[in-house]
Structure 1
Amino acid sequence: MGGHKLLSRQLWFTSPGQVEIREQPLPQLETNQVLIESLCSAISTGTEMLVFRNQLPEGMSLDTSLGSLKSQAGSYPLQYGYATVGTILETGPDIDLSITGKTVFAYAPHAS
Structure 2
Amino acid sequence: MKLILAIMSNDDSPMVSSALNKDGFQVTKLATTGGFLRAGNTTLICGCEDEKVENAISIIEKYSSKRTELVPNTAGYDMSHFATFPLEVQVGGAVIFVLDVDQFIKV
User: What TM-score, normalized to structure 1?
Assistant: 0.23
**Structure number with bigger Rg:** 2
Greater helix share, 1 or 2?
2
Greater strand share, 1 or 2?
2
